[in-house]
Amino acid sequence: MEFATIVHALKSGDDRLFLPTPVFLGIAIIPGMLQWKLLMLPCDKVSSRTKQIISLPFLIIELLIPIIFAGGHRALTIIAGLYLFNTVLRCSEALYITPFLEGSEAYIDANKLHQDFWACLRLPSSSPSSNKKDTNDKKLRPWYHLILPLTMSALITDFLASWYSTFSGQDVFDMQEKRPGLYFVFFFFAVMILTSAINTFGYIFRLLYTILYDGGYYDPDEWRLLMEYPVFASSFNNMWNYRWHQTFRGIWVAMPFKPVLLLLNKINNKTESNSNKKEQKEIAKELDDEKKQLLQEAQEIKKKLKRSRSCKNNVAVATLSVFFISGVMHEYLVLCGSGVQVYLDEFIGQECLFFTLHGMVVLLERLVQPYLKVQQGFVAEILKRIWVIWFAFRTFHLFLNGFAQWELWNANPFNAFTPYFVEHLWRKYPILEPFCGSYL
């Protein structure tokens, strides 16, 4: 492969080198696996400094792979991009950020990674069934009970995706200006199809876990849906913290949430320490013993209140950093799919703006909620849901446009019956044509 070809492929988008899917997956997965393996090695065998030196070129290569290469299967290409981005993020934290902030070794525990990965599906109280479960327990169900919900979820995804397959990217851009009603339907079912697709993956993961780790039986009470229908959320806090999938939660808590929180706390502690020394000197100069004691007590109360406010502010900033890094991840996917030049000309910053705005709204809701006079009741619940849908719809274009340019919805992996639905439903009945896209 010539160097000039690689350089040209750096433009990304349609200029990427398209490889057979198995070859692409090998190129995408192997560097990441080697990176994780290196980090899991005890530091008495491979020192932190050695890991840091070896890992730097690996991390750069991992970020460049989805920019330069693409596979024949679009969904797997996107998943590979997500895998590599989050590998770089988590490994950068363990290799450089945390050792710098805490002085710890560059090491990741394999069991911790395992727990973090499955935490998005398994409830916190879950524990390995091989140690505690009796297959005669009435709550336990055999693995094949998962086949029906998995199949139904895949069929729902397939059906909805067949409608989306009739739309071009330009159709979506035109809808935003000329057909807001249809655009709202597009928005609503976009969330629904994403929910059903991600839940289908959730059922696949649950099936694999049941077979590989739980001896073929599972307890339904130990599992949650990967997506809890966010379109019905009563607040943005409810949507992003509970209803939206938590696949990357463990990674994003490790990076950036904890480092940002730790850094802010250190800055606050240092500022408070300097302030305390200055105040003590002033007290010692000017006041007698009795007044010193009273003033010191008042200052202690003031410090506790200030520390509490600082802690809340630090958590808020750390929370916002998680939304921002989510935006960066989606910016990365848009760049890979649309190409560098198109991304820089049309879409740069939109994903970060979308997620940062939603993060700010989550914080605003937490601030305002205690002052709301009516928080419960039928009317209150309806108004909450209207608020969530309205704001999500009004900002949806920031999320959508970068992906619409390369028609992300056609990357649906659960599309076995999509041609059938298009031919025997959307194309068969002329009455449905005005509600479909130009590809029909």
Encoded tokens for 64: 């460049």
What is the H or E stretch that residue 64 is in? helix 48-68
pLDDT in tens, 146-160: 999 999 999 999 999
In terms of DSSP bridges, do strands 141-142 and 69-71 run parallel, antiparallel, or are they unpaired? unpaired
**Average pLDDT for 21-33:** 95
User: Which residue intervals of 287-416 are DSSP H helices?
Assistant: 289-338, 340-342, 350-368, 378-404
**pLDDT band at residue 422 using 50, 70 and 90 as cut-offs:** very high
Q: pLDDT for 334-374, tens place per residue?
A: 999 999 999 999 999 999 999 999 999 999 999 988 777 66
Confidence label for 137 from pLDDT (cuts 50, 70 and 90): low
pLDDT digits (tens, 9 = 90+) for 40-74: 999 999 999 999 999 999 999 999 999 999 999 99
d(Cα 156, Cα 171) in Å, to the nearest integer? Answer: 23
pLDDT at 131: 46
pLDDT for res 108: 93
Q: Is the pLDDT of residue 275 over 70?
A: no
**Domain residue spans in the chain?**
1-108, 122-227+412-434, 250-410
Taking residues 71-84, report their average pLDDT. Answer: 95
What is the identity of the amino acid at 315?
Answer: V
**What would the pLDDT profile of 170-220 be if each residue is shown by its tens digit?**
999 999 999 999 999 999 999 999 999 999 999 999 999 999 999 999 999
pLDDT of residue 130: 46
Q: Tokens for 432?
A: 């449905």
Look at 357 and 132; give whichever has higher pLDDT. 357
d(CA 153, CA 199): 7
For residue 82 the two structure tokens come to 């997500």
Instruction: Taking the CA atoms of 286, 290, 293 and 297 in sequence, report the sign of the dihedral they define.
Output: negative
In this prediction, residues 287-304 reach a mean pLDDT of: 59
Q: Which residues of 165-195 are buried (b: 16+ CB within 10 A; e: fewer)?
A: bbbebebbbbbbeeeeebbeebbebbbbbbb
SS (H, E, C) 138-193: CCCEEHHHHHHHHHHHHHHHHHHHHHHCCCCHHHHHHHHHHCHHHHHHHHHHHHHH
Judge whether residue 126 has pLDDT over 50: no
List Cβ<8 Å contacts ≥24 apart for 378-382.
381/234
User: Confidence band (pLDDT; 50, 70, 90) for 127?
Assistant: very low
Q: Note the pLDDT of residue 5.
A: 84
The pLDDT of residue 300 is 62
Q: Are 225 and 240 in contact (CB under 8 A)?
A: no
Give the number of residues written for the chain.
440
Q: Is 41 exposed, middle or buried (0-12, 13-18, 19+ CB in 10 A)?
A: middle
Which among 127-136, 236-245, 286-295, 374-383 has the top mean pLDDT? 236-245
pLDDT at 371: 78
Residue 238 and residue 77 in contact, taking contact as beta carbons nearer than 8 Å: no
Q: Token pair for residue 378?
A: 């039928």
pLDDT value for 377:
83
pLDDT-derived band at 283, boundaries 50, 70, 90: low
Q: Which residues of 278-309 are buried (b: 16+ CB within 10 A; e: fewer)?
A: eeeeeeeeeeeeeeeeeeeeebeeeeeeeeee
Question: What is the average pLDDT value for the chain, to the nearest integer?
Answer: 90
**CA angle, residues 39, 43, 44, in degrees to nearest 5:** 150
* Structure tokens belonging to residue 118: 């499955």
Q: Is the dihedral of CA 8, 334, 52, 263 positive or negative?
A: positive
CA angle 415, 417, 418 (to 5 degrees): 60
Residues 6+ apart with CB under 8 A from 400: 172, 187, 190
What is the full DSSP assignment across 264-304?
HHHHHHHHHHHHHHHHHHHHHHH--HHHHHHHHHHHHHHHH
Query: What does the alpha-carbon distance between residue 427 and residue 440 come to, in Å, rounded to a whole number?
Result: 7
CA distance 297 to 413: 65
Residue 6's pLDDT band, with cuts at 50, 70 and 90, is confident
Torsions phi, psi of 255, nearest 5?
-155, 110
Res 159: pLDDT: 97
pLDDT number for residue 372: 75
The predicted model gives 24-53 an average pLDDT of 95
pLDDT beyond 90 at 143: yes
CB 431, CB 214: distance < 8 Å: no
Q: Is the pLDDT of residue 282 over 80?
A: no
More confident residue, 335 or 308: 335
Please enumerate in sequence order all residues whose Cβ is within 8 A of that of 311, keeping only pairs 6 or more positions apart, or say none.
265
Query: What integer pLDDT is reported at residue 132 of this predicted model?
Result: 47
* CA 243/CA 389 separation, integer angstroms: 14
Query: Residue 129's pLDDT is what?
Result: 46
Three-state DSSP class for residue 130: helix
